[in-house]
Structure 1
Amino acid sequence: MTQLRRVRLLGHDVRVAVRPGTAPGPPLVLCNGIGASLELLQPFVDETDPRIEVVRFDVPGVGGSPMPKLPYNFALLACFVGRLLDRLGYDRFDALGISWGGGLAQQLAFQFPRRCRRLVLVSTGTGMLMVPARVSVLNKMLTPRRYRDPAYAKAIAAELYGGRMRRQPGEVRHVAYEQERLGPGTGYFLQLLAGVGWSSLPALPIIRQPTLILAGNDDPLIPLVNARIMRALLPNASLHVFDDGHLGLLTAADELGPLVSRFLTLPAGEGASSSS
C-alpha cells in the first residue's frame, strides 16, 4: 500500500509517496512531467511489478510541495533528489523520467553514476538542443492553463498530446487535469526556467547505465526523432516505440508498465530488446 509522507529537507517540505516492493532491490524513482503532481503517474504505478519499490515526489512548488526559496536548475534539483533518497535510506536507485522529468532523470544518471543503476526515459528529449515541436504546440506549453481549465485541456488535447487523445480528447481530464492537486502557478514557471540553457546532448556518451527509451509514434511535443538520437548517443540504450502519444505512459500503462518492469528486473548485464 502506498505511503504518503512529508520530508523536511534543506528547509523545504517535500511530499513523497512510497509504494513498498515485495522483493529486495533498488527502488524506481519517478520524475514527473512539468506542472504534474505525483498522483498523475498512478496508472503506471498500478501496472508496475509489485516486487519493485516505487518512489514518487512533488517537485518544490508543484502539487503538495511548497514553493522553493530560490529558483533551481536540473543540477541543483538532482542534488536535492539525491539528498531526499539519502533521507529515505536508499543507497542505489533506478530512475524513470517522463517529458520534463526525463531531463531530471538524465541529470541524476550523470551526477550519480554509481548510485543510479538503470535509466528509463519516456516521451522526452535532450533539452535545448533537440528537434523541437511546432511553435503552435510549444506556445501551449508556456502556461499551466491545461491543468487548470478542463475545457481548454480538452480543446488542445489532440494537438498537444497526439495518440489516443486525437480519438478521445475528453479523456485528458482523467489523466492530466488535476485542479485539486495544483501548486501555485509560479511553480510551473520555475520548472520551465530550470530547463533554460540545459542540454544533455554533450553528456549522453558518458551515461553508461543500461537505458530503456520509450517513445510514442505520434508525439507532437517530443518528435520521435529525438528518441532515435538518444539511442544513437547513449552507449547502452535500447528503444521501444509504442503506438500512442505523449501521455502513453498513462494511457498505455497496461503495455508500458510490464515492459519497464521486465527491464528493471533483468539480470545484471542484460538490456532490453530494441523495437523501433
Structure 2
Amino acid sequence: MNPALAARAGTGELVRSVTVSGRTLRVSVRRGDGSAPPLLLMNGIGASLEVLQPFVDELDQRRTVVRFDVPGVGGSPRPVVPYTLATFTPVLAGVLCELGYDGPVDVLGLSWGGALAQHFAVQHRRRCRRLVLAATGTGSLMVPAHPRVLARMLTPQRHRDARYAEEVAATLYGGTVRTDPAMAARVLHSASRLGPRRGYYYQLAASAGWSSLPFLSLIRQRTLVVAGDDDPIIPVVNARILARGIPRAQLHLYSGGHLALVTEAAELAPVVERFLDAD
C-alpha cells in the first residue's frame, strides 16, 4: 500500500487493498473490541473513505468500523469493466469475509451509498443486521432535486476543485455550508482528490435507472432513516417515503443539510449509536 494513501486513514486504522471477484478495493478497518457488530460504511458519490473520518472519530471506540473506496475513486483502481449495485454488493460481502467478518454487520449508507446499502440489505439480508440510511432516497423513482442541483451532480469537479466546491456549496449541500462554503471543500478533500475522473462516472452509471421503491417492503431489517430539513440534493420528502415504505423503519429529522453526517458528526453519531445499540 502506498504510504501516502495509508496516511489518509485515521490513527489506529489498518488500510489495505482487498481483491474479490477481480475487483480491488482500498479498505480501512478500525478494529473495536468485538462487543458490537462491525459497522460497514458506504459513502456518497465521488467521495473517498477519508470524507467520513469526522463521523468515525465520533463513534465509540469499541465499535469496529469498515469503509472502502469504490472502484476508481480515492485509492481504489478504476474498474476494468463497469459495475452495477447488484454486481457490487457481492464484492462487498466478499470483502467482509476476506477481513474475517463472516457474521452479520450493521450497514450505514450516505447519499449514493444509501442506495448501495438498501440493495445490500435485500440481496444479503443475512449479512445485514441493522440499516442506517442517511441523506438518501429511492433512486430514479424519487422526488428529484432542482434541475440546477442535478446538473452540478453530473460532474466530479466539486471533488477536485476547491474553489468550485466553495462556489456551489450552498446550492448543493445546504445546512451549515451555506454560511461556511469553504467547509465543503475541506470536507470533500477537494484539493487532494485521488483517483481518475472515470471512477466518478462509473459510480454514476452503476445506479442509473435503479430504484428501491418497488422493493422497500423487502427490507426487513430495523432501519434508521436520517435526513436534514435543508438538503438540496435529497429533498426531505424522500426520507418520509423511505420511512413509510420500510416495514421496521424509524425517521430522525435534523436541522441541516446533505453533509451533516460529517459536518455535524458530534450531533448525529450519538443518534446512530443509540439506534445500533437499542434492544
Deviating beyond 3 angstroms after TM superposition, the runs of 4 or more aligned structure 1 residues are none
Q: TM-score, normalised by structure 2?
A: 0.94
SS at match of 1:189: helix
Question: Does the 8 Å CA contact 2:40/2:66 hold for their aligned counterparts?
Answer: yes
In structure 1, the residue matched to 2:23 is 12
Partner of 2:62: 51
Letter in 2 for 1:165: V
CA contact (8 A) 1:96 1:105 kept: yes
Partner of 1:272: none
Q: Work out the CA distance in 2 between the residues paired with 1:153 and 1:19.
A: 29
Shift of residue 23, structure 1, vs aligned partner: 3.7
Verify the 8 A CA contact 2:158 2:190 in the aligned structure 1: no
Contact 1:49–1:257 (8 Å) recurs in 2: no
For 1:33, what is the secondary structure of its paired residue?
coil
Match in the other structure for 2:131: 119
Deviation of the 1:50 alpha carbon: 1.4
Q: Which structure 2 segments of 5+ residues have no match?
A: 1-11
Separation in 2, partners of 1:195, 1:23: 33
Structure 1's unaligned 5+ residue stretches are 268-276
Please, which of 228, 239, 243 is the counterpart of residue 231 of structure 1? 243
Q: CA deviation at 1:133?
A: 0.1
- Secondary structure at the aligned position of 1:244 is classed as coil
What's the counterpart of residue 274 of structure 1? Answer: none
Asked if 2 retains the 8 angstrom alpha-carbon contact of 1:16 and 1:56, the reply is yes
Corresponding position of 1:143: 155
Partner of 1:21: 32
Contact persistence 1:153–1:177 (CA under 8 A) = no
RMSD of the alignment, in Å?
A: 1.0
SS at match of 2:148: helix
Which residue of 188, 212, 219 maps to 2:231? 219
Q: Is the 8 A contact 2:108 2:134 kept in 1?
A: yes
Q: In the aligned structure 2, how far is the partner of 1:152 from the partner of 1:177?
A: 12
Instruction: Between 156-165 and 88-97, report the one with greater CA deviation.
Output: 88-97
Within 5 A, what are the aligned runs for 1:44-193?
44-90=55-101, 91-193=103-205
SS of equivalent residue, structure 1 residue 55: strand
How far 1:12 sits from its partner (Å)? 2.8
SS at match of 1:14: strand
Equivalent pair of 2:230/2:255 in contact (CA under 8 Å) = yes
- In the TM superposition, residue 197 of structure 1 has moved relative to its aligned partner by 1.1
Question: What is the identity percentage for the equivalent residue pairs of Structure 1 and Structure 2?
Answer: 56
What is the letter of the counterpart of residue 100 of structure 1?
Answer: W
Q: Distance in 2 between matches of 1:254 and 1:25?
A: 20
Paired residue type of 1:175: V
Deviation at 1:86, TM superposition (A): 1.3
**Cα separation, 2, equivalents of 1:111 and 1:98:** 18
1:195-229: CA deviations, max 9, x gaps?
Answer: 11100001101111000010011000000000001
Shift of 1:14: 1.3
Tell me the CA shift for residue 177 of structure 1: 3.0
